[in-house]
Amino acid sequence: MRVEETNLKGCYIITPKIFEDTRGEFFESFNKQKFFELTGLDAIFVQDNQSVSSRGVLRGLHFQTGDFKQTKLVRVVKGKILDICVDLRKDSDTFGEHFSIILDSKTNQQLFIPKGFAHGFLTLSKSAIFNYKCDNYYNKESERGIIYNDKALNIDWGISDNLIISEKDKELPTFENLFK
């Protein structure tokens, strides 16, 4: 596997080595030891989540706070999405900046998102199966979010019409209001 750090410290793109033959393909989606050797990070995942979404579904931007902050390893099992993460670490040089990447089931790239980031995605294909590993358990009381179209973050989602967004996500606060 190849690991590249993004413009946001601690956030990595993981590209697997894919083996193809007449039977199909095989790849190792994650190897803890190799990841540690390449990054120095010791990720221990305790919960796997999966969502199925249709074209235009936008989920996010979500994060957990306090003792329930989560590191995530995200990937697309089927389809194609635009994945976004936002650095919420106040002591970071990239505080308030975001990173975007298209993840799909052809390249099988993954995004490693450290604690202290908000995360969201937009489904670009007819449907998508999205999987993410977390290093901490979900806690409803620690769940927070930022409105997807926050003007200060200026995220280009690529499309702005026909989005399918939950009522809960439409009511999320702005980035600025998070820190008041």
- Helix (H/G/I), strand (E/B), else coil: 27: coil
DSSP code of 180?
-
Kind of pairing, strands 24-26 and 72-78?
A: unpaired
Q: What are the φ and ψ backbone dihedral angles of 32, each rounded to 5 degrees? A: -55, -45
Annotated active-site residue 137? The verdict is no
Among the listed residues 98, 119, 132, 148, the single catalytic one is 132
Q: Which residues contact 175 (CB under 8 A, 6 or more apart)?
A: 86, 96, 146, 150, 152, 153
Residue 25 CA, distance from chain mean position: 24
Could you confirm whether 138 is annotated as catalytic?
Answer: no
Q: Please identify which of the residues 12, 62, 98, 119 carries the catalytic annotation.
A: 62
Residues belonging to the active site: 62, 132
